[in-house]
Amino acid sequence: MKKYIILLVALAGIAVACNKTKTYSNRLDGGVWRVTELSIDGVNESELPEWNINECDIYGESCNGEWMNDEGGHGEFVWQFREKGKTFEISNQSDHTHSHADEEAQAQCSDFSGVYSVEESGKKKMKFTSTATIGHAGSTAIIVIEK
């Protein structure tokens, strides 16, 4: 009987962890988010993109988004929340360019790809910090997005 109770408690813990991850993912899932801060060591990028996030089933597929700049350029990325919503990862998936604007968007997307700590994860605003991005390893990268 004791083993059965321990097993039930363990399964409940797994379900809660999965539900938290899904909750955070659902907040981001689907729609356009404005990037209001994209900084390295406190210095904000001069051009702030928007993210167009596609709807997805976090357990059945990779979650995709577009990194779009003001000049009409775009890059593609996959994203995911992990560790009960405490970690956020973004990974550049761009494979070709059509214009100089695409090159700029894809370079920025690639530079800011990495594993982030989730500092804030509301329905209208999220904040992520990292010292392990592809283009800025060792520096503090901050991404703030707002609906």
* Residue range 84-137, pLDDT digits in tens: 899 999 999 998 778 999 999 999 999 999 999 999 999 999 999 999 999 999
- The predicted model scores a pTM of 0.84
Question: What is each CA distance from 147 to 32, 96, 107, 137, in whole angstroms?
Answer: 7, 28, 24, 28
Task: Say whether pLDDT at 8 is over 50.
Answer: no
Tell me, what DSSP letter sits at residue 140?
A: -
Find the mean pLDDT for residues 5-15: 37
Compute how many other C-beta atoms are within 10 angstroms of the C-beta atom of residue 37: 14
| Domains, the chain, ordered by start | 2-146 (2.40.128)
CA 10 to CA 45: how far, in whole Å? 44
Band of residue 57 on the pLDDT scale cut at 50, 70, 90 = confident
Secondary structure (DSSP) of 82-129: EGGGTEEEEEE-----SSHHHHHHHHHHHHT-EEEEEEEE-SSEEEEE
Asked whether the CA dihedral 26, 114, 44, 120 is positive or negative, the reply is positive
Nearest to 38 by CA among 106, 132, 137, 127: 127
- Using DSSP's 3-state secondary structure scheme, residue 46 falls into coil
